[in-house]
Structure 1
Amino acid sequence: METVKAYFKTPLGIAIIEGNDEGICRISILDETPEEIAAEVPAALRAAVMELEEYFSGSRQEFTFTLNPQGTDFQKKVWQELVNIPYGKTTSYQELSIKLGDVKAIRAVASANGKNTLWVVVPCHRVIGSDGSLTGYAGGLWRKKWLLEHETPPIQQSLF
């Protein structure tokens, strides 16, 4: 089945979504704006575009559109564990490795995390260093910081 694409604006730049009727297989952020961006969103991608727009506007915390990630069984297992990290929460590579059943698999987990092809939806940005530091992020650490702040806005203090 042929894969179709759609581009859309986010507060972090232009994102591209790719997929078909079997689901979304790739979402990534671009560092440069493509010369041509079609205004029409293919039917197979409309739900994903709508839900991502809701996420960036602050009205959505979970995604419901169909995913069709392409990767090894191990990568898919790691990505599924990433989806289980609640909105507004973070975890470390070590904690993720323990949840997957092998504390020594930290490097393999980190590698699979880095190969995640479903930006924001499979929330690899929620994985931080054991010491709380922001660690590598394919989209750039400034985007990771923005996403984490977007998901955990400051609590308004009562004036009285």
Structure 2
Amino acid sequence: MQKQILVVISIIGLVVGRDINGAGLALIKEMEDFRADFYWDQIGQKTIGYGHCCVYHPCDQLHPPLTEQQGSELLRTDLVEFQNCVENAAPGLNDNQFAACTSFAFNMGCGTFTGSHVLSSIRARDFNAAANAFNEYVSMGGRVIAGLVVRRKREEQLFRS
């Protein structure tokens, strides 16, 4: 039943809005890493799979351990919200720009993306400034997080490519 629910949600999610490209999906998977069982992320939120946050997306129907395929389906479902957020806030991006922004929004939240210097620079059509702005978002709780430094650099590179 769980797999059927994930497949149906994934199919529905894939037909709504714009999809992230393979480079963006690979970046998110690499940065999130796959975990078959529940774990607590860096800010203390119950999480599973490729960064599926149980605080925002109920996990009642999930019965770990997940397979990587189930984790991928769950990620695709989760990404719909952030793909739509980016497309609505910044229509007309090329595939890699869209993918980089979707990765950022997935990691930081749609609210952070829509209030970011990344987006304001995109809207000003200053794509160099937008690419540079990814690197402003590397701290949590006032301290720089090494993983965020790496992720933002990778998003910047994808945005520029």
**Is TM-score (shorter-chain normalized) higher than 0.5?**
no
User: Which structure has the larger Rg over C-alpha atoms?
Assistant: 1
**TM-score of the two chains, using structure 2 as the length reference:** 0.31
Structure (1/2) with the larger strand percentage: 1
Higher relative contact order (CA 8 A, sep 6+): 2
Choose between structure 1 and 2: higher helix proportion: 2
